Amino acid sequence: MSSPDFHLLLPAKAENVLVVRQAVAGLGEAIGLPEQRIDDLKTVVTEACNNVVLHAYDQRPGPLAVTAEAGEDEVAVVVADRGRGFEPRPSGAGEASLGLGLPLIAALSDSFEISGGAGEGTRTSIRFGYAPPVGRDNGTPGIERIEETLSMQLAPGAAVRPVLARVLGAMASRADLPVDRLADSVLLGDAVSSHAPADFAEGQVAVSIKDGDRALDVRVGPLIEGGGERILAQMEIPGGGSLRKLARSMEVTKGVASDGSSAEFLVFEIAT
Amino acid sequence: MGSNQGIPGSVRTGEIALERTEAGLPVLAIKGEHDLSTAPVLRQQLHSLIAEGVPIVVDLSSATFVDSSILGVILDARRRAEAEGRGFAVSHANGADPVGRVLDITGLRSELPVHAARELAETAAVGNPSGKSPA
């Protein structure tokens, strides 16, 4: 089983659906999908995420997990939650989302299926293209964690740069950062992407982003020993400058990887 | 708002502008990307306009993305307007752009119906309460 091109984990909130939409658009761009197909992908993923935001947690906080994997002939997307599963209930006034959302997914994707049950959470698995089905036994890594940050893991490849750039751009935009800071956040994302994935401890580019009022806190890693310093070195510009000056602060810290081992992280803040 | 040119991903949810025709007819122009996060604002604005008791036009021509929650709000507003005998019509001038594609796939282009120009929608909204074309 290959790993997905990206795995996004973020709070299931209405304002986060746009971020997921940008991530899949970045992947679509990276694999050269035609513009209309990128639009379709955005719609399909939006509708699947809407179902999570509207129905999974009954107004309580909970995680939304999205994985996407581009194969030779298809993109496989899984949108998952840890919510209460589908339950029969009347829809509220004006709440037409579930009525139109699933038909949109059905019409624009090659196939989709919804699995899960009461108390198990729900997975919507969507496929574009006509390749034979792939298994879905890889679980949804990290979904047990509920955090107020966005975290993503990107498999090495052409999608890293556009997906990371678009997600950073969307988060910076939402944090109300001015245009020059937006550009800075994308440049710093590119600096991280260009280094990928040699120095990442788990073989995947891993980035967490927390957005605040006019600020983004970005945590890159887990990295292998010395990885943080090597990324910093790559940010040096001939003549004495450094891209690190684009961040308000940037440092290499020690932390804990998901398997409990100690690892390095590069943390930086982009702010007005 | 919309997109900051050249910066990938820097797309924000769009805006909803209340414009008026020369005759004073309110036109709610939906611009940029709209989804679950902006649906409550759109619903509120439409309800306020319906309460004003005037014919309403919703113009989707400058929208770059709408999801089913936005379409649901528009359908609900049309039902309310119809129930109160107010004119209501939708326009979208861009044919097969992403928004047009969603209107086609959901069947809403004919169901609402969606008029190909704002002026046509204005005429429909003023001419008959549901905004539907005369039989």
Task: Mark which of A143, A165, A187 sits at the end of a domain.
Answer: A143
pLDDT (0 to 100) of residue B23: 82
Residues A160 and A114 in one domain: no
**Pairs of residues, one from chain A and one from chain B, whose beta carbons lie less than 8 Å apart:** 117
Q: How many CB atoms lie within 10 A of CB A66?
A: 27
Which of the two residues, B134 and B91, has the higher pLDDT score? B91
CA distance A122 to chain B (A): 19
Residues A8 and A79 in one domain: yes
pLDDT (0 to 100) of residue A145: 41
pLDDT digits (tens, 9 = 90+) for B99-119: 999 998 888 998 888 999 999
CA distance B43 to chain A (A): 9
Calculate the alpha carbon distances from A11 to A61, A126, A143, A145, B56 in Å.
7, 21, 11, 10, 36
The percent of residues above 90 in pLDDT, for chain B, comes to 64
pLDDT (0 to 100) of residue A129: 60
pLDDT (0 to 100) of residue A198: 82
Residues A135 and A264 in one domain: no
CA distance A170 to chain B (A): 5
Residues A39 and A158 in one domain: no
Residues A33 and A126 in one domain: yes
Cα(B10)–Cα(A189) distance, rounded to whole angstroms? 13
Q: Identify the CATH number of the domain in which residue A38 sits.
A: 3.30.565.10
pLDDT digits (tens, 9 = 90+) for B57-87: 999 999 999 999 999 999 999 999 999 999 9
Residues A134 and A160 in one domain: no
Please tell me whether residue A172 adopts helix, strand or coil conformation.
Answer: helix
Residues A155 and A272 in one domain: yes
Q: With contact defined as beta carbons under 8 Å apart, do B114 and B90 qualify?
A: yes
pLDDT (0 to 100) of residue A220: 93
B42 chain-A contacts, CB cut-off 8 A: none
3-class DSSP string for A226-245: CHHHHHHHHCEECCCEEHHH
Number of structural domains (chain A) is: 2
Cα(A223)–Cα(B97) distance, rounded to whole angstroms? 43
Q: With contact defined as beta carbons under 8 Å apart, do B16 and B48 qualify?
A: no
Which of the two residues, B129 and A149, has the higher pLDDT score? A149
pLDDT (0 to 100) of residue A245: 87
Residue B133 predicted with pLDDT over 70: no
Task: Mark which of A143, A173, A203 sits at the end of a domain.
Answer: A143
Residues A65 and A83 in one domain: yes
Task: Per-residue pLDDT tens, chain A, 272 aa: give them.
Answer: 466 789 999 999 999 999 999 999 999 988 888 888 899 999 999 999 999 999 889 888 999 999 999 988 889 999 999 987 766 655 554 454 447 888 899 888 988 999 987 778 899 999 976 322 233 233 344 444 445 688 888 888 888 999 999 999 888 888 888 888 888 888 888 888 887 678 888 888 999 998 887 889 999 989 999 999 988 888 888 888 888 888 999 999 888 887 778 889 999 999 98
Among the partner-chain residues A14, A18, A40, the one whose CB lies closest to the CB of B11 is A18
Among the partner-chain residues A39, A42, A169, the one whose CB lies closest to the CB of B9 is A169
Residues A130 and A163 in one domain: no
Average per-residue pLDDT for chain B: 87
CATH 3.30.750.24 applies to domain B15-126: yes
Residues A3 and A136 in one domain: yes
Residues A264 and A134 in one domain: no
Within an 8 Å CB–CB cutoff, is residue B43 touching chain A?
yes
Among the partner-chain residues A101, A165, A170, the one whose CB lies closest to the CB of B68 is A101
Among the partner-chain residues B11, B12, B67, the one whose CB lies closest to the CB of A50 is B67
Q: The domain containing residue A111 runs over which residues?
A: 1-143
Task: Mark which of A115, A143, A171 sits at the end of a domain.
Answer: A143
Query: Taking Cα atoms as reference points, which of A103, A1, A11, A75 lies closest to residue A49?
Result: A11
**Among B1, B3, B5, B7, which would you mutate to test the A interface (most chain A Cβ atoms within 10 Å of its Cβ)?**
B7
Which of the four pLDDT bands, split at 50, 70 and 90, describes residue B44?
Answer: very high
**Neighbour-count burial of B110, counting CB atoms closer than 10 A to its CB (0-12 exposed, 13-18 middle, 19+ buried):** exposed
pLDDT (0 to 100) of residue B14: 85
Interface touch A104/B102, C-beta < 8 Å: yes
Residues A129 and A223 in one domain: no
pLDDT (0 to 100) of residue B55: 93
